[in-house]
Amino acid sequence: MNKQERDTLIMTKLNEGMSLSDVQKILAQDYNIRMTYLELRLLADDLAVNWEKLDKPKPAPQPAEQAVTPEEDDESFDEDDDEDLDDDEDFEEEEEVAEPGAVKVTIDPAPRPGMILSGMVRFASGIRAGWMMDRRGRLNLDLPDDGPQPSQEDLQGFQEELRRVMQQKDEEMRRAANDGRTKVTINPVVPAGVKIGGNVEFASGAKGDWYIDNSGRMGFNPAEGSTNPTQEDVGLFQVVLQQELRKHGYGV
């Protein structure tokens, strides 16, 4: 199946009323074409799709048949619930002060395994999801297949807000990298198998040796008695290292 045939299939299925999740499954199962939900949604934006048919308004919530008393609510609150709330505490607090209908995007301090970035998003429609970016720069959303899906406007707003938040984070990182707390040196002599290396003192106080081997992989050996660097330490180190490499004439 070539690109034109793929796009025609996607457009046809969507205009028949099929959901993006179902189209995603058909592409993977029948044609071995694997796309993330977000990639498929962005591709479909350029196709002649009747989005009004797909972006159906959500029905108003029905009142609960039986109210839960405070006592019953306390009894049903277990440790797992407490842990889940702790994980999203910052996101919930920021949502409380966010403007109604506004997009809210947060970035995790430590990305999900295998990802370079991840976080949470609350779309303008109120739908919440996790998002992640892999090493190829591909975005994906963590959404239940049987739950509500973000609209075209939701995704456009998410991309714009994510771009703004990432630019802000990059500026903050560069300012923090220039405060002098992260110190990187380059050693003139390195061991066999190492292309370049040196020492680093992280902002948190952790210390050690860094190196880039002949295959381009970076490694770090903590100094004796030193703690391990934090995720923020690593980010600041990468910024300062690039500055030092340029200063010493290494192309980065």
pLDDT(130) > 60: yes
pLDDT, mean of residues 168-181? 85
| DSSP, res 143 | -
- Please give the average per-residue pLDDT across 88-111, as a whole number: 66
Cα–Cα distance, 24 to 42 (Å, whole number): 13
Contact between 208 and 222 under an 8 Å Cβ cutoff? The reply is: yes
pLDDT of 213 > 50? The answer is: yes
| Residue written as token pair 């694997």 | 34
Share of the chain above pLDDT 70, in %: 76
User: What are the residue ranges spanned by the domains of the chain?
Assistant: 3-53, 104-166, 183-248
Span of 69-78, 220-229, 230-239 with lowest mean pLDDT = 69-78
Instruction: Report yes or no on whether pTM surpasses 0.85.
Output: no
With CA atoms as reference, report the closest residue to 108 among 126, 124, 90, 92: 90
Q: Tell me which of 124 and 62 has the higher pLDDT.
A: 124
Q: What is the mean pLDDT of the chain?
A: 78
- Amino acid letter, residue 41: R
- pLDDT higher at 200 or 134: 200
Token pair of 29 as six digits? 């199962």
Do residues 206 and 233 touch, judged by C-beta distance below 8 A? yes
Residues above pLDDT 90, as percent of the chain: 22
DSSP run (H or E) holding 232: helix 231-247
Q: CB atoms < 10 A from the CB of 118, how many?
A: 20
